[in-house]
Amino acid sequence: MNRLILSAAVPALLLAACAGGPATLQPVNLTEVPSVAPAAPPPHYPADLTPAGVRAADDHLALEEVNGAEAMAFVGQSNRLALASLEGDRRYETYRQQAEAILTATDRIPAPSFLGDGIGNFWQDAANPKGVWRRTTLASYRSANTRWETLLDIDALARAEGRDWVFKGANCLAPDEVRCLINLSDGGKDAVVVREFDTRTRSFVDGGFSLPEGKHRISWLDVDTLLVATDFGSGALTESGYPFIVKSLKRGQTLAQATEVYRGDIGDGGYGVSPSVYRDKDGAVEAVLFRRPLDTFRAETWRWVDGRAVKLNLPERVGINGTMGRQLVFSLDQEWAVPGGPLPAGALVIAGLDELALAEISRVPAVIFEPGARQSIDSVRVMSDSILAVVSDNVVGTLKRFSVTSDDPSRTEWRATDISVPANSAVGLGDSSKSRGEVFVSTQGFLTPPTLSLADIGAATITDLRSAPAKFDASTHVVEQFEATSSDGVKIPYFVTRPRDLAMDGSAPTILFGYGGFQVSFPPAYKPEMGKLWLENGGVFVQANIRGGGEFGPQWHQSVLNENRQLAFDDFAAVAADLHRRGISSPRRTGIYGRSNGGVLTSVVMTQHPELINAAVIESPLIDMLRYHELPAGASWIGEYGDPRIPEEAAWIARYSAYQQLRPDTEYPRVYITTNTRDDRVHPGHARKFAARLTDMGHDHLYYEETSGGHSNDADPVANARRWARHYVYLSQQLMD
């Protein structure tokens, strides 16, 4: 097994030999971990697993009413107790000030996007916590003293309109990108209002496009036409609360006057039908596609041509990357049977749009790249005549350009050219411009601050633009990569960031982070607030790349879907046990952290393996997995977890659902549960009910609910600093005191 080491003295991870040190230890097998299946059922385990039976066994349904009187009283009382413990701690103010200094620092790299012939950026700091949308030239962006022009001041807009506006991005019409659709969220919710904005006049367009609050899916067709999927009235949303109808909305029309161009079905799953308009480098339309989700991961792909929608002959599990003329570039998430033999899952493929519209494919699509067993394609940008992709190799990024010389890309062998990036770092692709042939690229590591670069695709070169300054002292720490053995023998990689002189006696306070879902990968990332508030105080940070993510392609994700979900939890527990066996930490000094789907993970591991941990931050979590489909927008995730309305599936969900698995006679660590009232992605009822049941059973815990900000925690960096301070105060109390 390889061991990776990162030292602050070296700019990147260095591959060490497989001899000596901790890398020679045998990985622990999860079968050594105590059993998780006591004979007697928990007291709140429903005898009847039908939806009605689950509801009847739930004594905290009132907490599902987001703004209900009982729920708000519970939140108020819980918040008072939590804040007294966390913000009353002597460390809180120091942590808050340090976090705020990092999150509002003016020497951060302004995240760029291509905007017309210039560069756009959304910026938040202490003076502008709501943020300003601004622009500059590329030459000015490269310079030491960038001159910014403010396009829209969100703080000023919020004050003028008396609303808690949160900027959720701008959708601008190529190629000049003068007309933009501004997305504004009230309090940070996913649902937004949409207003048309003119970047020349720096003002909203009088009488321009305007949509009421909703979870819209919108694309520009031309300057006077939008393709819109939204709530068009009664019966226009799926049970998940997402749209399944697409209409063409002309300038001056109301939503009621829009013309329907595509319709899915009210029973569709996933996140709603999505219209996408793909353009060439001059802004001309190459293709209009509709993606109709059948569940979380399966979807039909339809092409809109000559006023009608034509279903494309594509697999249901496929990721659309873009168009290159009349060719479609896509990533396979399942094996695809085509003439000449199946194409493998995980491959990057190109095929003709006209060919894909045929009932049977006669020309074999071209495989651009097929990842190896421990590789995956992390992100892709399709340009006019070439493709840029990040290829992850054992959770470490590489950058490749793929190009051809023929005029027919679907019949030509593709060549890969490696573009030099720092060795063994995480590589991310930012905004791209077909007209310029350029893509923004970022690189970073656990101890290495991000560097932003600009890739010239034609020349296959990369030029550094900015490097972020260090926000904590990394000279005392190193990074290693190990593997643990899960319950079924699969090797699970994880990164350890630790003091270089750490005594391997189990005394190190350690945070173990994991997610394990939705094919989301977690490569090494620079977390400045973690480094300042945790590493500088002697802590260890561990990131587990468990199954459910996309680190090793679609199979790494799909192997733990539905009835196999328990394996993801076993992976995480195996990493914790491996840390203890190596002497990096011990149960007394180990805390776990996860949010959203990571809240499923942490709540389950807490209930199944309380003997492995002494702390858990369970943030914005799903926890009541027998009712998650009842809480908006839970039904959109049935493809990931299964459907509790189906008896067989309810049975295996119930075996791990933490809300039903809590026991009064089990000793759990004092956990910290936190969520947000304005979270319209993962319902706050999950966290509330779990905290209430812990109270009923007499288990010590903390519960705090922020009342604004939404699921993304991006509404306000000042508020976010308070959030991180509370997290690290709690973890310090549990693991360091």
Query: What whole-number distance in Å separates Cα of residue 427 and Cα of residue 390?
Result: 7
Count of H-run helices and E-run strands, the chain? 15, 39
Annotated catalytic residue, options 580, 701, 711, 727: 711
Query: What whole-number distance in Å separates Cα of residue 67 and Cα of residue 362?
Result: 57
Question: Which amino acid makes up residue 401?
Answer: R
Inter-helix orientation angle 597-608/566-582, to 10°: 60
Question: Which amino acid makes up residue 632?
Answer: P
- Candidates 216, 210, 208; CA nearest to 236 is 216
The 3-state secondary structure of 696-722 reads HCCCCEEEEEECCCCCCCCCCHHHHHH
Residue 432: both structure tokens together: 């791209």
Which residues are paired to 14 by β-bridges? 5
DSSP state of 635: G
Residue 15 has, within 13 A of its CA and on its CB side, a CA count of 8
Does the annotation mark 727 as catalytic? no
Which residues are paired to 513 by β-bridges? 543, 593
Cα–Cα distances (Å) from 34 to 214, 512, 611, 660, 667, in that order, read: 47, 19, 9, 20, 15
* Preceding peptide of 175 cis, ω within 30°: yes
Annotated catalytic residue, options 596, 603, 620, 657: 596
Contacts of 169 (CB under 8 A, 6+ apart): 122, 183
Question: Which amino acid makes up residue 83?
Answer: L
Does the annotation mark 603 as catalytic? no
Query: What whole-number distance in Å separates Cα of residue 533 and Cα of residue 214?
Result: 38
* Preceding peptide of 633 cis, ω within 30°: yes
Residue 661 has, within 13 A of its CA and on its CB side, a CA count of 26
DSSP state of 501: T
Question: DSSP string spanning 277-327?
Answer: EEE-TTS-EEEEEEEEESSSS-EEEEEEETTEEEE----SSEEEEEEETTE
Question: DSSP string spanning 205-235?
Answer: PTT--EEEEE--EEEEEETTEEEEES--STT
Residue 343: both structure tokens together: 């194409």
DSSP state of 611: G
**Annotated catalytic sites, by residue?**
596, 711
